[in-house]
A and B are shown apart, each in its own frame.
Chain A
C-alpha cells in the first residue's frame, strides 16, 4: 500500500473522488478494505499464534507432553495455570487459524491473492465493486445482527468481539499486577514512550480514520503529553551502528542511500538502520499502541470522533481500571490491548465502508489511469499492521532512480543512532530484572520474549547474508549499476 501510494503521489494523483487526478471513491474504499482485512488477520495471528504461548502454562493444559508446546520447558509461575482457562485459550488458538483464513479470503475477493496482491495499481485497484463482491465481504466480516456470540466461528467481527477481546482481557486480568500496573505508572517494557503514527484509511473526505501524530508520552500524566501533527520531512536515518556506509548517515529517505558495508567493524551490530524523528534522541515506537495512544489523545483533546477514547476506556473498565490508567498502557500488555482494541474498531469501520460501496453505483469506477511521468518524486505513507510504513520514490527517464523504504520494525528494532540513543525495543529491555543464578536463563527467555514479541517484530525481508550452518557472513558483490 505504501508503494502504490508513493506511485499515486509521483504520478499526480491528488485526492479521492470523481474527476481526473483522483482515486475514485470505490477504489479508495476497496483499498481500505484490503488494508483492513490484512490488519485484522495480522492482529489475530499475533495474539494467538505468536504471543499467547508466553502466557499459558502448557504443562497444565491439554498440550502437556505434546511437542513442541507442552515440553516442560519455559513455563514459569506467572502464567495462566488454570487448566480450564488454558484449554479455552488453546482451543481459540486453533479457532483463530480459521478466522485468519477468512480475513485473507476477504482481502483476496478484492485483490485476487493475498498477501502479495496483484490488484493494487496507481490510481486505484483493478477490481470493480459488484453486489456479489460486497455480499461476500459482508458475509465474512459480519454485519448487523450477524455479529453475535453464536457466530464466533462464522464471521470476523463476532470472533473479535466475543473471543479475541475477551481472551486479551483474560490475559490482561491475570497479569495486571506484574505486567500492567506494577509499582510505577508504566507497564513492564514501556521503553522510549515516544510514539509515532503516519495514519491511514483515508475516507471519502480525505481525512484518515486513523490519524497520524508524534506523541511524546514521557511524562507520567496524559495531561502533560505532547501531541504534534506528523510531518514526514522530520524523518532521518542514522547508520553509525548499522552495516551501511557512513555516507548514508542522517539522510531523509527521499535522498536516502543504502550502501551495504558488511565489514564496517567498530561498534556496528545490525543490518537495520536507525530511523529517528526530528532529532537522534527521538527513537519512536510505531504500531498499534502508538496508533491507539495518538488517536486516544487526539480524541480526548477534541480532534477526533471519540471511537478510540471510547474503546480504550471500555477496555480499561472491563479489567477493573479507569481512564486514569491510560499511562499504564505504555508497555507489554498495552501493546496487546491496543492491538485488540484497534482490530475491533477498524473491523467495525470496515462494515461501514462495505455499506458505502453498496450505497453507490455498484459498477462505479475504481481506477483512474495515470501515465508514468518522465521525472517525478513521490512519498507513500501508510500503517502496516506492525506500524508506520513509508516508501519514497524518485523517477527519472520513466524509470526508478531511487527508492527507499522505512518499514515499521526498522523503527521498533532499530539499533543505536549516531548519538548513542538506543532503539525502542532496546530501551524496553534496559532496566528489567531477569534474575541471577540458575533461573536467570528461563526468566530471561520468558521476560525478554514477552517484551520483544509485544512489538510484533517482522524482519522477514529478502536477502539473507547469514548462512544457516556456518553463522558467518557470506560474501556477496553488488552488481555495478547501469548509469542513470
Chain B
C-alpha cells in the first residue's frame, strides 16, 4: 500500500512524502516530492552581477 503525507508541516516550504509500505508496515520505497519550481537561475540571466546577491537572498528568508 502507499501512504502520502503532503504537505509535511512545520518545515520551511512545501514538501510531500509518498511511502510504499509492505503489509507489515515496513517502508519499502520513499519519494520526496519537491512541489515548487524555483527559477532564480532564469530570473538572473542578463542582469547586473551585483543584483545576484540581493535577488538570491529571497530564495530563503530563514
Residues of A near B27 (CB, < 8 A) are 429-434
Residue contacts A-B, CB under 8 angstroms, 6 given: A2-B56, A116-B54, A403-B40, A429-B17, A448-B19, A481-B42
**Cβ–Cβ contact B19 & A434, under 8 A:** yes
CB-CB contacts below 8 Å: B9-62 with A: 9-15, 17-19, 21, 23-42, 44-54, 56-62
Residues of B near A433 (CB, < 8 A) are 24-27
Residues of A near B36 (CB, < 8 A) are 271, 459, 461-466
**Cβ–Cβ contact B49 & A458, under 8 A:** no
Residues of B near A395 (CB, < 8 A) are 49
A residues within 8 Å of B by Cβ?
2-4, 6-7, 10, 41-42, 45, 49-51, 53, 115-118, 120-122, 243, 256, 258, 260, 262, 269-272, 372, 384-385, 391, 393, 395, 398-405, 407, 409, 413-415, 422-423, 425-427, 429-436, 440-441, 443-445, 448-449, 452-453, 456-466, 478, 481-482, 484
Chain B's interface: helix, strand, loop or mixed, by majority? mixed
Closest to A476 in B: B37
Nearest Cβ distance between residue B39 and chain A, in whole angstroms?
5
Out of A393, A434, A459, A463, which one reaches B39, CB within 8 Å?
A463
Residues of B near A120 (CB, < 8 A) are 53
Residues of B near A405 (CB, < 8 A) are 38, 40-41, 56, 59
Residues of A near B46 (CB, < 8 A) are 399-401, 481-482, 484
Interface residues of B, count at CB 8 A: 52
Nearest Cβ distance between residue B7 and chain A, in whole angstroms?
10
13 further A-B contacts with Cβ under 8 Å, apart from A400-B44, A414-B32, are A50-B11, A118-B54, A120-B53, A121-B50, A121-B53, A426-B32, A432-B27, A440-B3, A449-B9, A457-B8, A460-B62, A463-B36, A484-B46
CA distance A460 to B12 in the complex (A): 6
B residues within 8 Å of A by Cβ?
3, 5, 8-15, 17-19, 21, 23-42, 44-54, 56-62
Given contacts A461-B40, A462-B39, contact A425 B57 (CB under 8 A): no
Closest to B34 in A: A272
CA distance A427 to B29 in the complex (A): 8
Interface centre among B11, B32, B46, B51, by most chain A C-beta atoms within 10 angstroms, is: B32
Residues of B near A385 (CB, < 8 A) are 62
**Cβ–Cβ contact A465 & B37, under 8 A:** yes
Ranked 5 nearest A-B pairs via Cβ: A459-B13, A272-B34, A460-B13, A458-B12, A429-B30
**Cβ–Cβ contact A400 & B52, under 8 A:** yes
Nearest Cβ distance between residue B35 and chain A, in whole angstroms?
5
Residues of B near A436 (CB, < 8 A) are 21, 23-25
